[in-house]
């Protein structure tokens, strides 16, 4: 397939795809961290990639290079890597995409992604996103959800997500969702609120996102280690608040506000 390099082709009668991307959709690194966690936890195998060059603007996001004592060690351009995990049950197989949201030619990127999904007999796609919001870390993280299949709305409410109400600029996730309506592939987009002052990974959001994904997919994995990481992060944040008066005042003021979600698709 054009723009795709396949190293190994797993054969599935049925599978589900989970997508995490860097870029606009990745506040708190929720999107990429969640998929990396699943890749490592499940020991998923790398089987291919979307060749990102045609879809990327290198002047906006440059490749990463490593040089030691004058000798180049590595050169890593933006990548969209596919992994697979074969479940014990025939209908519980996962395709994981860890990528970078393309800067240009979304339609062709989505064409490429959906051709891989078709080859892997993907029946449902999950996309993961994080957005910045005026929330505090002391309550359960708010998760909003959107789908292209009306029949899934009750299921999304049952797992405790808030159905999205939004109109405005969007991400490539919406193009994936819209295009899949005519292909018989269900898409569920799950987004987590991330406190606006968080810099770097916010593990609590990843924990609550993955709690819902495990229920929706039927995936049985223990998230206890991720929960501990989230609790540890909260303690670190509390210690920072004790030392930093500005952060302490911010948390206090946010706690007084009515908890309203902000939505980005």
Does some domain include residue 94?
yes
Rounded to whole angstroms, the Cα distance separating 26 from 16 reads: 21
Q: How confident is the prediction along the chain (265 residues), in pLDDT tens digits per residue?
A: 789 999 998 999 999 999 999 999 999 999 999 999 999 999 999 999 999 889 999 888 889 999 999 999 999 999 999 999 999 877 799 999 999 999 999 999 999 999 999 999 999 999 999 998 877 666 678 899 999 999 999 999 999 999 999 898 899 999 999 999 989 899 999 999 888 778 788 999 999 999 999 999 999 999 999 999 988 876 565 455 444 455 445 545 554 444 444 444 4
Is residue 200 in a domain? yes
Nearest-angstrom CA–CA distance, 114 and 224: 33
**Residue 37 belongs to a domain:** yes
CATH number for position 45: 3.40.50.10900
Find out whether 234 and 137 touch, Cβ atoms under 8 Å.
yes
Q: Compute the distance between CA of residue 10 and CA of residue 36 in angstroms, rounded to an integer.
A: 20
Asked if residue 261 is part of any domain, the answer here is no
Range of the domain at 238: 4-256
Assess if residue 117 is contained within a domain: yes
Q: Is residue 264 included in any domain, yes or no?
A: no
Whether the Cβ atoms of residue 21 and residue 31 lie closer than 8 Å to each other: yes
Total of domains in the chain: 1
Q: Distance (Å, rounded) from C-alpha 201 to C-alpha 207?
A: 12
Do the domain assignments include residue 263?
A: no
Instruction: Decide: residue 104, CB within 10 A, 0-12 exposed, 13-18 middle, 19+ buried.
Output: exposed
Structural domain contains residue 184: yes
The most distant pair of C-alpha atoms in the chain lies apart, rounded to whole Å, by 59
């Amino acid at each position: 397939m054009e723009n795709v390099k396949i190293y190994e082709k797993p054969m599935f009668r049925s599978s589900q795809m989970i997508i995490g991307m860097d870029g606009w959709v990745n506040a708190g690194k929720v999107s990429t961290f969640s998929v990396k966690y699943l890749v490592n936890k499940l020991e998923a195998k790398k089987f291919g990639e979307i060749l990102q060059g045609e879809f990327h603007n290198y002047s906006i996001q440059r490749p990463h290079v490593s040089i030691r004592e004058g000798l180049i060690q590595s050169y890593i351009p933006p990548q969209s890597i596919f992994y697979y995990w074969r479940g014990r049950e025939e209908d519980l197989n996962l395709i994981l995409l860890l990528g970078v949201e393309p800067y240009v030619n979304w339609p062709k990127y989505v064409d490429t992604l959906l051709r891989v999904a078709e080859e892997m007999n993907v029946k449902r796609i999950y996309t993961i996103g994080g957005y910045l919001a005026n929330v505090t870390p002391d309550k359960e993280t708010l998760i909003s959800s959107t789908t292209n299949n009306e029949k899934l709305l009750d299921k999304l409410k049952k797992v405790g997500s808030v159905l999205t109400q939004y109109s405005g600029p969007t991400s490539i996730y919406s193009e994936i969702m819209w295009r899949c309506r005519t292909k018989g592939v269900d898409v569920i987009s799950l987004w987590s609120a991330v406190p606006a002052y968080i810099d770097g990974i916010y593990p609590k959001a990843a924990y609550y996102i993955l709690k819902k994904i495990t229920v929706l997919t039927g995936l049985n994995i223990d998230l206890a280690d991720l929960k501990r990481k989230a609790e540890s992060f909260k303690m670190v944040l509390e210690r920072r608040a004790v030392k930093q008066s500005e952060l302490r005042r911010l948390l206090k003021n946010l706690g007084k506000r009515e908890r309203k979600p902000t939505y980005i698709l």
